Amino acid sequence: MTRKFGAKMCPFLLLALSPLLLAPSVEAATASPAAVHPTVEKIDMITGDIGWLLTQTHLWRTVDGGLRWHEVLTWSKGTYFPVAQFSGPDSALVATNVGVTANTTSLHLDATTNGGATWIVESLGHPSSPSLGVVDSIDIEDSRNAWVLTGQNTRKGSDEPMALYHTDNAGHTWAKVIQVSYGDTRVDGIPLAGLKTEVAFQTPRLGWLVGVDKGDKVWMYRTDSGGLSWQSAEISTLPHAFHHNADASIFPEVPVFAAATSAMLPVFFANSGSGLCVYATRDGGATWTLGQPIKGGQGLAVDPYDGTVIYSDAGRVLEISVNQGASWSVITKSAPPAPAFLTFANRRDGFLVDWDNGLWKTTDGGMDWTSVPMQFLLDAAGQKTRSLA
């Protein structure tokens, strides 16, 4: 899945999780301004002031609402998109996916709990390989449990091998839960067919895996055994406006649960008129109700706490739903550029990255937007301190 297809989903409020890993704090290094603005891969604002920005070769952090971004981690340009997950204003897990074609670099994560001042390197326990060479998705479920989905950077058609890793001790050790390889038709319920894009767990046992495949269906699988076995949760009911997606142009996000049985499933459609549709469930995912589709939908932000407020962009107009995507109303007064990424720290403070990598901010829930002049500050002392766990 192309990492800049529309915008990656970001919840309004992130849970205050305990740090995944402990690391000693150090004094901040001096910094110098960067000459150019980098290409954004992900933005996640934790509060109105503090947030993270992922680019192809750097991880940046701001503490002043996006005006200044400090380099907290850097790596050489790799062969696949980096992946990151943030569990608070100071904690991050990053997979740089650098050197994956050499087949000698062990798959690993860089972890920080002090805002990027220092980092710990955690190995997933096996070397990179042609079929399982990159980290596709990271999911932090609570202070002890996290999952990592690995796949490959060069895919053969619509088939993709995968492996899922789990830690239950805050990242100190990882165990491989399931692996699907070339030559396998299906392993523990997961087929080789389909490009696996993202994994998320609601509890240590209940989780979801989404991806894309040819055909008119939303590709999704569900586990209630911590990933040991999976059952198909595919959705074949598509909006009439987005039928005939036989070229694998249906891109589901993972479900966002507001309660034990209530969740929303955002799905982007890129064929027969691009757009967004949100499915809703009130029985834990056994059945899904189709919402009202929006043509041209791109950016998306979901409130996981009450499950009722969704912000979405249709072209250059922001719309809001207060009924899990069943209907929408326009809220934008001054339209910003079309977003590549959208994140809300709370109901009022939101940030938008446009397709030219410019940053915009709203303080009234998306009605008005102002440009934020970003400054990128390089770490003059070089790459941040890393140590093996």
Measure the CA–CA gap between 36 and 277, rounded to whole angstroms. Answer: 36
The pLDDT, as a whole number, for residue 13 is 30
CB atoms within 10 A of CB 297: 24
What tens digit of pLDDT does each residue of 196-213 get?
A: 999 999 999 999 999 998
SS3 sequence of the chain: CCCCCCCCCEECCCCCCCCCCCCCCCCCCCEEECCCCCCEEEEEECCCCCEEEEECCEEEEECCCCCEEEEEEECCCCCCCCEEEECCCCCEEEECCCCHHHCCCEEEEEEECCCCCEEEEEEEEEECCCCCCEEEEEEECCCCCEEEEEECCCCECCECCEEEEEECCCCCCCEEEEEECCCCCEECCEECEEEEEEEEECCCCCEEEEEECCCCCEEEEEECCCCCCCEECCECCCCHHHCCCCCCCEEECCCEECCCCCEEEEEEECCCCCEEEEEEECCCCCCCEECCCEECEEEEEECCCCCCCEEEEECCEEEEECCCCCCCEECCCCCCCCEEEEEECCCCCEEEEECCCCEEEECCCCCCCEEECCEEEEECCCCCEEEEC
Quick one: tokens of 350?
A: 């939101």
- Segments in the chain below pLDDT 50: 1-29, 102-103, 389
CA angle 108–167–251, rounded 5-degree value: 75
Sorted by sequence, the CB contacts under 8 Å of residue 182 that are 6+ apart come out as: 131, 156, 159, 161, 192
The pLDDT, as a whole number, for residue 331 is 81
Measure the CA–CA gap between 143 and 20, rounded to whole angstroms. Answer: 6
Quote the pTM value: 0.86
The pLDDT, as a whole number, for residue 61 is 97
Quick one: tokens of 78?
A: 């790799």
The pLDDT, as a whole number, for residue 166 is 96
Sorted by sequence, the CB contacts under 8 Å of residue 283 that are 6+ apart come out as: 261
Measure the CA–CA gap between 222 and 103, rounded to whole angstroms. Answer: 31
Domains and CATH numbers, the chain: 10-388 (2.130.10.10)
Measure the CA–CA gap between 150 and 96, rounded to whole angstroms. Answer: 12
Any idea which residue has 């890993």 for tokens? 21
The pLDDT, as a whole number, for residue 76 is 83
Q: In the Cβ-directed half-sphere of 194, how many Cα atoms lie within 13 Å?
A: 27
Any idea which residue has 């102002």 for tokens? 370
What tens digit of pLDDT does each residue of 40-78 get?
A: 999 999 999 999 999 989 999 999 999 999 999 998 877
Quick one: tokens of 15?
A: 């849970």
Sorted by sequence, the CB contacts under 8 Å of residue 157 that are 6+ apart come out as: none
Q: What are phi and psi of 240, to 5 degrees?
A: -55, -35
Residue 130: name the closest of 178, 176, 80, 64 by CA: 80
